[in-house]
Each structure stands twice: as structure tokens, then as C-alpha cells.
Structure 1
Amino acid sequence: MRYVSIDNVETGQYLGKAIYSGNGTILLSAGVQLTVFMINTLNRIGVTMLYVQDEQYDDIELVEILSETTKQQIISEMSDTLDALRSGKEWSPSRISKSVDQLLEDVIGSREVQVQLTEIKTADNAAYMHAMNVCLLSSIIGMNIGLNRDQLWELGVGALLHDIGKLGGSDMLDQIPGSKMHHTWRGFELLKSRREFNLMIAHIALQHHERLDGSGQPRGLPGEEIHRYARIVAIANMYDNLITTKEHGGKGLLPHEACEEMMALSETTLDRELLVEFNRIVSIYPNGTGVRLSTRESGVVVRQHRGLPGRPVVRIVNGSGDAIEIKEIDLASATTVFIEAVMN
């Protein structure tokens, strides 16, 4: 399958990866044939990229860290939690805890997998997908730096609920320096009152927008005064926001562009050592991505190398019908060849 812009999807193509609704159920299943109505609807609900099947790349595997069961459980629990908070009802920390336990089981069982954030976001599921992605990335960084199981659980819960304070507030309140109405303060107050969670989890919500140079929100904490958990979540949060927000010409940045932008912020905004760990585990050219090489050949990324995110295997297909010529270039060994542009 290939990862393509919604603008380049054609009627009659088959969806390569399921799309979830806001409550965790499947909105469109993998394998469904896309109609004009479906494509227009996906465009309308905020989908910018998706996977489509392609017989020339039907062997490409999206190596998933999280099982479908885990993803549906997390999205459903986050949906229920935020709905309860919106309506002033009681919510269940124990169910959130179980969701994080399940995510950690998947993460620990896939420690050698390069992370590819392949879930398709819509206007309805974006908040839940964001929480899940930040939890996933944070947990893997935490595992790689040697956190134990209890520490990973604390980090995972805090990461999953890092934006819980956004409910009941507005973006305008976040612009007031030091305001106790900043969503980080509201999240802290919500979480510290739950006896099921320790105070460190609440501090992740409070500190994930602080900056190393002291210019962050809400308290302007510098350097080591920001807890390591919050510094991890800050990296995961920024990355997922950069690849999905529509502030850069109408769509999010490509993974490699987001990583470059984040590296430029190391030691002023983001922790450099943790950022290096992040760059080791994230795939900056996910499988299915169309690329142009420095040889002027165009192809599709088909495989990854753990620890070498910028040097995947690229398949190049020339010709058509019975005259098709296929070759693969492994950039880990073809050291003089590099990816020049993404062609989605």
C-alpha cells in the first residue's frame, strides 16, 4: 500500500488502513472501495492523508506497535472520559489505568519496532488520537532511557491525560502568562484530586508546555526544574502536533520536517538528550511514503532500519504491463544516495 494525500486519491481505489470514528469504532474498514462520496466526506471531516492499496506495493507492511484492540480501547476510554468531564459526570481513572497497562504490554513486546504514526485523524477522533500518539511515543522514549514498569505507567497515564485541562477553557485563556486558567493548570487540578493517581502524573499535565530556557507556560520553569516525565511528553506532544496541525500551508509537516524543526529547538525548548532518543525510534519516512532520490529516481519506502530512520529501503518501479522493472535501493548501504523530497 501507499501513503498518499487525499487530493491524489482516485475513485475506485481501495482503502489500505481502517479509519476510526470518535468513539473507537471503525468508520471505514481497510479494503473498502472508495467512492466520490467517501473521498469528499473524508476531505470534509479533516482527513489529509490516507493509505490506499497498490498491487505494486501490496507486500508493504505497516508494522504496528499497538494492536487494534488496544487502539479501540484507548480511543473509546478517552471518548468516554472527555464526554463525562464535559457533562460534569464521574469518570473512571481505573479504566484509564487499564488502557495504559494494555498499551505498555504492546510497547514492551515491540521494543525493536521503528515507530510510524499511521492512524488517520479526523475532526471527530483527533483529540483521542493525539492523546494515544503522545502516550505511545512517550512510553517508548521512557522505555529506551531505562524507566522501570511503575515509572512507565506513571509516564503513560500522564501522557494520555496531558491535555485533559483543555475541557472547559478556551485558547484565549492560554495566552495569559501565568494564568491559573491555562489548560495545564486546569489539568493539574483535575488530576491531583484523584487518589488513584499520584502527584507526579498531575505534574505532567502542568509542565508539558514549559521550556528549558524558562520561557514556557504556565510557570516559566527552567531546565532541570521541569520534571523528566514532562520533558518527554513535551517532545511527543510537539511532534504529533507538528505532523497534524494545519498551520503550514494547510496541512501538517511531514515527519522529517517535524524532526528537523524540533532539533532546531533543542536546548532552548526541548531536552536535547531526550530528543536524540526520540529521533532513534521514530520513522521519518514511514512505509508507503513516496520519495524522490538524489539519483532523480522516484519510488516508495518499503522497509525500515532500526536506529537509521533516514536510511530506509526504497522500491523503484519503472515501465508498465509486462515490461515492469522493479529494483530496491537500501539507503543504509547505498551511502551516496539520499532522499531529496517526499512525493505524496
Structure 2
Amino acid sequence: MKYVSIESVEPGQFLGKTVYSGNGTALLSAGVQLTVFMINTLNRIGVTMLYIQDPDFDDVETEDILSEATKQTVINEMNGTFEAIRSGKEWSTKKIGVSVNRIMEDVLSNKELLIQLTDIRTEDNAQYVHAMNVCLISTLIGVNMGLNINQLKDLAIGALLHDVGKNGMTISDEEQQVDLKEHHTWRGFELIKSKREFNLLIAHTALQHHERIDGTGIPRGLEAEKIHTFAKIVAVANTYDNLINPLDHRGMLPHEACEELMAMSEKQLDHEVLVQFTRIISVYPNGMAVRLSTKETGVVVRQHRGLPGRPVVRVVRTNDDQLDVTEIDLAKQTTVFIEAVLA
């Protein structure tokens, strides 16, 4: 499979990865042959990147930490939870627990894999995919930082619900607020605190995830030592996912977002958390087309744990009407670098 911009997709190509709707059902299944109508519809509902099948890269897998079943469960449960909150109804902590248990089970089973956030987003599923991704990143950072199973569960719940206070609010609602007690972090704190089944740390994770290490954050302007570790972890995960998938414009590529995060070290974000983050994230996801410093172009096909910026790149050359396929392992070819991403 190749990971490409929606603008470069052509009718007749086959979808490599399923597109889900906001309630977790399949909108378009992997393997479907794309038509002009389908491509235009995907563009209209906010899809910017797609996985496309390619015979030269049929063996390229995304190596997702979360299974498709887990993703469907989480998106569906988050949809139901957020809809209940928006309508003022009771929401189930048990359903949140089911989602978190599924995520934790997949993370602990696949913790040697690098995170590749390549799930296809639409306008109606973006909120739920964001919550799922922040939970995934936060949980794996927590594993790397040596948190025990109970701590990991509280962290995962706090990460999944970090933006729960946004329900029923528009972007303009929050921008026009003067009283920070009406900010989504406070709203989320109150919503989570009302559930006695949850540890109070979970509520504080939602409250503090927009605080900054230098004390310039909101809603309380807490400085480094006063911000809980869970909130510091969620802040990194939340910032990264927002950089690569903003709601109102095209996002950064993963390597660009990682550079942006590192520039925030000890100002907005915690340095130690960022160090652990760089060890779990795929800077160049499988299927992404790149140009090397040799001026050859290829596609990322495999990752190295601990060396996210040095993947294996497959280069396909045409030589006397025959294809010559070479794989360049950047972990071994130390003088070759990725010069540009061809998304």
C-alpha cells in the first residue's frame, strides 16, 4: 500500500484501508475500487490522505498497534458517550472502561511497534479518532515511563476523555469566553469528577492538559512541578495529534510535527515526556513516498524501533524495461538521508 494525498488519487485505484464513519461503521471498505464520485465525496467530508493499493508495495503493512475491531469499538463507544453528554443524558463509565481495556490490551501486546497515526479521518469521526489517538500515544508513553497497570488505566481514561468538556460547545463559544471556569478543561473536570467510579486524577488530567511547563498555560497557569505527570503526557499526545490533523486546515507531516514538538521542550511541554514520545512514534509512516539524499524516490516499507527517523525505503527503478527493486536500510546506510516527503 501507498499513503498518498487525496489530490493524487485517481478513479480506478483500489482503497487500501477502510474509512470509518462517526459511529464506527465502515463508510468505504478496504479493497473497493474508487470512482470519481467516491473521491469527490471523501474530499468533501474532510479526508486528506488515503492508503491506496499498489502492486509494487502489496506487502507493505501499516503495523497498527490497535486492531480494526478495537478501533470500531472505541469510535462507536465514544460516539455514544459524547452524544449522551451533548443531550444532557447520563453516560456510562462502563463503556469507557470497555474502550480503555481494549486499547490497553492492544498496546501491551504490541508495545514494540511504532505508532503510525494513519487512520482516515472525516469531519464526523475526527473527534473520536482524536480521542483514541491521544489515548494510544499517552498509554504507550506511560508504558515506557514504567507506570503500573492501575496508573496506566487512569492515564488512559484521562487521555480518552481529555476533551470531553468540548461537547455542546463550538470553537467560537470557547474563543469568546472570558471566564476560564467555562473553558472545556474545567467543564471536563466537572463532568469526570461527578463519576465516583473514576479516580480524581482522571478529572485533573482533563483539567490540566492545556497547562504549560513555563506557567503560561490555562486554565490555572500552573508551572512544571505543579502539573501532574498524566496531564504532561496527555499534553504531548494532544499537541502532536492536533498538529498532524487540525480540524480547519491541512496538517503537518509527522516529521514536521515532531520537530515542532521538540521546539516546545521545557516551554510548553515536558522534556522527559518528549524523549519517551520520540521513541514510540513513526516519523515516516509505512507507505509514505520519500525522496532520498541520493535523489532517488521510494516508499517507506519498514520501521526500526528506537530509530524512527531511519526506516527502510524501497526504491523501484526501471532498467531496460525491467523493474529493479532495492531496499535501502537507512539504519545501515548512514550517509543516506530522507530529503523530502512526497505526500
Q: Give the TM interval when normalised to the shorter protein.
A: over 0.9
Separation in structure 2 between the aligned mates of residue 38 and residue 174 of structure 1, nearest angstrom? 35
CA distance in 2, matches of 1:326, 1:306: 24
Specify the alignment match of 1:290 in structure 2. 289
Q: Is structure 2 residue 52 aligned with structure 1 residue 31?
A: no
Deviation at 1:170, TM superposition (A): 3.6
Tell me which residue corresponds to 1:222: 223
Task: After TM superposition, give the deviation of residue 304 of structure 1 in Å.
Answer: 0.3
Name the aligned partner's letter for residue 158 of structure 2: G
Report what 2:199 is aligned to. 198
Secondary structure at the aligned position of 2:291 is classed as strand
Aligned residue in 2 for 1:96 = 96
Which residue pairs with 1:180 in the alignment? 181
Aligned to 2:139: 139
Q: How does 1:254-293 map to 2 (within 5 A)?
A: 254-293=253-292
Counterpart of 2:80, as a letter, is D
- Specify the code of the residue in structure 1 equivalent to 2:107: V
In the alignment, the residues of structure 2 paired with residue 86 and residue 95 of structure 1 have an alpha-carbon distance, to the nearest angstrom, of 16
Shift of 1:69: 1.3
Deviation of the 1:237 alpha carbon = 0.3
Q: 1:321 to 1:197 in 2, by over 3 A?
A: farther
Aligned residue for 1:153? 153
Give the Cα–Cα distance (whole angstroms) in 1 for the partners of residues 225 and 319 of structure 2: 58
CA distance in 2 between counterparts of 1:169 and 1:7 reads: 32
In the TM superposition, residue 320 of structure 1 has moved relative to its aligned partner by 7.6
Q: What per-residue deviation string (whole Å, max 9, x for no partner) do you get for residues 264-312 of structure 1?
A: 0000000011101001110010000000001111000000000000000
Distance 1:177 1:230, change over 3 A: farther
Residue 113 of structure 2 is matched in structure 1 by 113
Matched residue pairs, number? 342
**Segment drifting more, 86-95 vs 182-191:** 86-95
- Aligned-residue offset at 1:321: 9.1
Q: Which shifted more, 173-182 or 187-196?
A: 173-182
Residue aligning to 2:55 = 55
Q: Percent identity?
A: 65
Q: 2-side partners of 1:177 and 1:207: how far apart? A: 18
Aligned to 1:44: 44
User: Could you tell me which residue of structure 2 aligns to residue 77 of structure 1?
Assistant: 77
CA drift at 1:168: 2.5
- TM-score, normalised with respect to structure 2: 0.97
C-alpha separation in 1, matches of 2:137 and 2:162? 13
The answer to whether the 8 A contact 1:177-1:218 is kept is: no
Instruction: Tell me the residue number matched to 1:20.
Output: 20
- Decide whether the 8 Å contact of 1:177 with 1:217 is kept in 2: no
- State the distance in 1 between where 2:125 and 2:27 align: 10
Residue by residue, what CA displacement relative to the aligned partner does 1:223-266 show, whole Å, maximum 9, x if unpaired? 0100000000000000000001166xx41000000000010000
Unpaired segments ≥5 residues, structure 1: none
Secondary structure of the corresponding residue to residue 213 of structure 2: coil
For 2:174 and 2:309, the matched residues in 1 are separated by 36
Amino acid at match of 1:16: G
Counterpart AA for 1:340: E
The residue type paired with residue 326 of structure 1 is V
Q: Measured at CA, do residues 258 and 276 of structure 1 come closer, stay the same or move farther in structure 2, by a change above 3 Å? A: same
* TM-score of the pair, normalised by structure 1: 0.97
For residues 49-88 of structure 1, give each alpha carbon's deviation from its aligned partner in whole angstroms, at most 9, with x where no partner exists. Answer: 0100000010101111111111111000000001111111
Give the conservation status (yes or no) of the 8 Å contact 1:178–1:217. no
For 2:267, the aligned partner's letter is T
Amino acid at match of 1:192: K
Counterpart position of 1:305: 304
Task: Report the counterpart of residue 4 of structure 1 in structure 2.
Answer: 4
Q: How much does 1:171 deviate?
A: 3.1
How far the C-alpha of 1:98 sits from its partner, in A, is: 1.5
- Any unmatched runs of 5+ in structure 2? none
- 1:160-209 deviations in whole A, cap 9, x for unaligned? 00000001234345444661000000000000010111110000110000
Query: 291-300 vs 166-175, which deviates more?
Result: 166-175
Q: Secondary structure at the match of 1:319?
A: strand
Q: Work out whether residues 96 and 157 of structure 1, in 8 Å CA contact, stay in contact via their aligned partners in 2.
A: yes
Rounded Cα–Cα distance in structure 2 between residues aligned with 1:234 and 1:321: 53
Measure, in 2, the Cα distance between the counterparts of 1:168 and 1:71. 24
1:108-151 CA deviation, whole Å, 9 max, x = no partner? Answer: 00111111112100001000000000000000000010001100
